[in-house]
Chains A and B, each alone.
Chain A
Amino acid sequence: MNHDINIKELQKNCFRQSKVPGEFMLQMRVPGGVIEARHLSLVQHIADTWGNGQFHLGMRQTFSLPGIKYENIEAVNEYIKSYIEDIEVELCDVDMDVNDKGYPTIGARNIMACIGNSHCIKANIDTTTLARKLEKLIFPSDYHIKMSVAGCPNDCAKAQFNDFGIIGIAKMEYDYDRCICCKKCVETCAHHATGVLSVEKGKIVKDTCCCVGCGECATVCPTGAWTRNPKKFYRVIIGGRSGKQYPRMGKMFLNWVTEDVVLGVIGNWQEFSAEILNHKPVYLHGGHLIDRAGYDKFKEMILKGVELNPEAEVADKIYWAETEYRANIHVKPACNTK
């Protein structure tokens, strides 16, 4: 067929180009990865009516519907209006006008999250609710950002590989008199976490330097000597990415911060991006953006107006550790740099 399609525009509309010319894959946002199951019938309808009958559980927790022909995109966009309204406006309180034209932008990517403490015995936080609050802050924005929310430092959500990874952590509190020195916490911390607990004088002591706040000790304690401080805390990892050139795990930016701090930081993202990109929302990985700004600048801008809680810790410096598929990948001819 003689196609003349502006694929960039369609991509922004959340339709991804297929290897079959003229076919596209719709990516529907599911912020936090949890929605009511009833929406599946809508997904099925799109797949059966306009797609190829299949759907992919998108790598970023989208509903991805392949095989949609270019000429049906308009109909699909009209059809998903109710879904966008339900999910973005109703569920996430996103400030946007929903029309017949489908998703207004793909910039800020779907926010991923593990199931969190609505289900998981390991989780420290309600990841779903947080993801929805974050969606309101970053959508619809043309500035690219990838985020993931993990319920605990186990990080099933791969927060370590996102521009911003948010991990739910807990401040553990120890009740000396309730402890029977069974050493279960010592064993479990060594086995699952950081091994910061040890026995001293028939009770438990902790090397607080390195507790990751996972809560395993509380889960295993038979007497409730270890409990979580009810206040919710978060660790924020930045600059993680995959990619062909130099993938890397993220690094800890903030530790023991409150939800207000997390929301404040993410709220600053658009302004930061705009400034660094000269107000042109071109596609650039968040990690690269931070690199371009330099960590100090990033830190300054992203923490602007954010009131850090007393427990908060902020990274002084960050030393990235990239996978260099090719040795000296960063060493380039001096006369030919971009």
Chain B
Amino acid sequence: MSYSVSVKKMNEILKELQKDYKVYAPKRFEKRGRYSDTDLIRYAEISMVEEIVYDEKADFSPKEVIYPITQTLFYFTEHEYKESKVHDKGILIFARPCDINGIKRLDTIFLENGDQEDIYYKRLREKVKFILMECKEGWDTCFCVSMGSNQTDNYSLAVRFAENNLLVEVKDEAFNNLFANEKTTDFTPEFVTSNQVTVKIPEIDNKEILKKVHDLDMWESYNSRCGNCGACTSACITCSCFTTSDVIYSENGRAGERRRVWASCLHEDFTEMAGGHSFRNTPGERMRFRTLHKVYDFKARFGEEQMCVGCGRCTDRCPQLISFATTINRLSEEVNKLKNKKVSQVQAASKEVE
């Protein structure tokens, strides 16, 4: 069932929802952007419709709601490990289709990879219900359509924001009663059907090509461009890497915690072992690693879908203006060249035999 709800009424509904849920949405942090007098838009708890930034893309993805940047795993007192706790409310997230699809990728890593569930992820993830923010047009860096992540039916509510009201589709019956007195309408969310940017996924279908991809000259061009800042992976809805470390907080050294914080494969120390040996030593190699994870090996491992959902945030956030869509397309072109070369070599060889 769908309803037309005034902003005022929606605020009342939000208030009601907040009794049982923490509600997260993209929110504006004025003048907190990377550059002076620019704003930062990121996910945070909201209590009013007016706080929701629905007409701009958020700088950061909603992943931090369920996969916090810093997360305590254990508290230590003397020699005891105490598991950290979480709040007992549910979680509602206003999210776009790309992000809802992105969280599915996180699920794959945290709940499936290695056949074991990560309870720290799970305990927040299982509280989550999505409120789909209709996204009909996207922005100039989005390529969700190419990645097939422009649509989703994984939501409890879907909303379209208008001047003074919201159109709300209620899919999850648990929320029906909140809208019982509202005017019904025939709204179902539309999805973006084409982006300004399209990407072609490289067809890496055997190890021989993969090996050649590793050796491509194109990666070297990033040695002078990429600054290894990790802004791309921090913004990415699907980047899941972290580093665990322990800290002592008290003066006497008795109390402390084990925590994990996000990590980035673009950072120099991502593969660094004790003694200083690293496995990927140039920005180009790290760029290759990230690119392949997003558009080749996640799918190679899990079969279903590419890791990247085409949200374009990595491009938006890159201070060196490296477009990830362009990187993918460059790679595709190079892979095609490699394949054509192979075909022509085979043809040439068979000619010689003739």
Give A residues with C-beta under 8 Å from B: 117, 121, 123-126, 151, 168, 170, 176-182, 184, 201-202, 215, 218-224, 227-228, 230
Contact = CB atoms under 8 A, between A and B. Distances in A.
Interface string B120-140: 000000000000000000000
Nearest to A126: B37
B32 A177 contact: no
Interface in B145-169: none
B contacts with A: majority SS: loop
A123 B40 contact: no
Nearest to B242: A180
A218 B233 CA distance: 17
A326 B40 CA distance: 54
7 contacts: A117-B37, A151-B36, A180-B69, A184-B230, A223-B60, A224-B59, A230-B30
Contact of A202 (B30, B42, B245): B245
B42 A224 contact: yes
A227 B33 CA distance: 7
Contact of A223 (B29, B31, B234): B234
A117 B261 contact: no
Interface stretch (B92-100, B170-178, B215-223, B262-270): B262-270
A227 B249 contact: no
A202 B262 CA distance: 12
Given A117-B37, A202-B245, A179 B29 contact: no
A180 B36 contact: no
B234 A180 contact: yes
Contacts of A123: 36
A151 B35 CA distance: 12
A219 B40 CA distance: 12
Contacts of B317: 222
Given A224-B34, A224-B60, A180 B247 contact: no
Contacts of A117: 35-37
Nearest to B35: A121
Contact of A181 (B40, B229, B261): B261
Given A124-B36, A180-B263, A201-B249, A230 B230 contact: no
B40 A227 contact: yes
B262 to A, nearest CB: 5
A221 B69 CA distance: 13
B326 interface: no
A138 B33 CA distance: 34
Contacts of A218: 34
Contacts of B68: 177
B346 interface: no
A177 B245 contact: no
A196 to B, nearest CB: 20
Interface of B: 29-37, 40, 42, 59-60, 68-70, 229-231, 233-234, 243, 245, 247-249, 259, 261-264, 267, 317, 319
Contact of A219 (B230, B247, B319): B319
B223 to A, nearest CB: 18
B63 to A, nearest CB: 12
B234 A222 contact: yes
Nearest to B233: A222
Contacts of A180: 69-70, 230, 234, 243, 261-264
Contacts of B230: 180, 182, 184, 222
Nearest to B30: A230
Contacts of B262: 180, 223
Which 9 pairs from chain A and chain B are nearest by CB? Answer: A230-B31, A227-B32, A117-B36, A222-B230, A201-B247, A222-B231, A222-B234, A180-B261, A177-B70
B36 A202 contact: no
Nearest to A176: B70
A313 B264 CA distance: 39
B76 to A, nearest CB: 13
A126 B319 CA distance: 21
Given A180-B261, A201-B248, A219-B35, 10 more contacts: A123-B36, A151-B36, A176-B70, A179-B69, A179-B70, A201-B247, A224-B59, A227-B29, A227-B40, A228-B32
A151 B230 CA distance: 27
Contact of A230 (B32, B59, B243, B267): B32
A126 B38 CA distance: 12
B36 A215 contact: yes
Given A177-B70, A178-B69, A222 B59 contact: no
Contacts of A170: 36
A117 B35 CA distance: 8
